[in-house]
Structure 1
C-alpha cells in the first residue's frame, strides 16, 4: 500500500511540476516547444534530485521518476496541441 501511495505522489508531483514549468515556458516560446522544454528540464532536475535523495539504491527512484515523466508527456503534448489549434496568443 505504501508503494502505491509513493507512486501516486510521484505522479502527481511530476504532473504539477510539468504543468507549472510549461506555463512559465509558454511566455517565451510556442506551446509545443514549451511542453518539450518543460519535460526536459523537469526530467533532468527530478532525476538528479531522486538520485541524490536515495544514496543506497538510487535506481528504483530514478526509474519511478522516468516512468512518471513518460506517462505525463502525451497529455502534456496533447494540451499543447489543443492550445495551438485554438490560436491563443502567447501570454
Structure 2
C-alpha cells in the first residue's frame, strides 16, 4: 500500500503550491490550520475524535520526531520535512533516538 507523505499535503495547504512550485490552491491556510486538519480533522473523519487528534489526558498520543520544525521552517521547505523517529504506543517503530 502506498502511503501519502503528509508534508506534501501540509506544504500544499500552507503555500497553495505543489512541491515544484505550480499554483494549485487559491486559498492557502495557516500552518496551524493545516496541522489541525491533518490531526483533529482526520480523527473526526474516523469517528475517533474522542481518542485521537489532540494531545490531552485520556487520548492516545503517538509521536513523530522531525528533522526540522514544521512551525518555523520557510513555508517552501515544509515539503522537505522528514521523520527521524516514530513512536506508537510508547514504542519506537521507526528510526532512532539519541
Same fold (TM over 0.5): no
- Give TM-score, length-normalised by structure 2: 0.35
Q: Which structure is richer in relative contact order (CA contacts within 8 A, separation 6 or more)? A: 1
- Give TM-score, length-normalised by structure 1: 0.37
Query: Which has the larger share of helix?
Result: 1
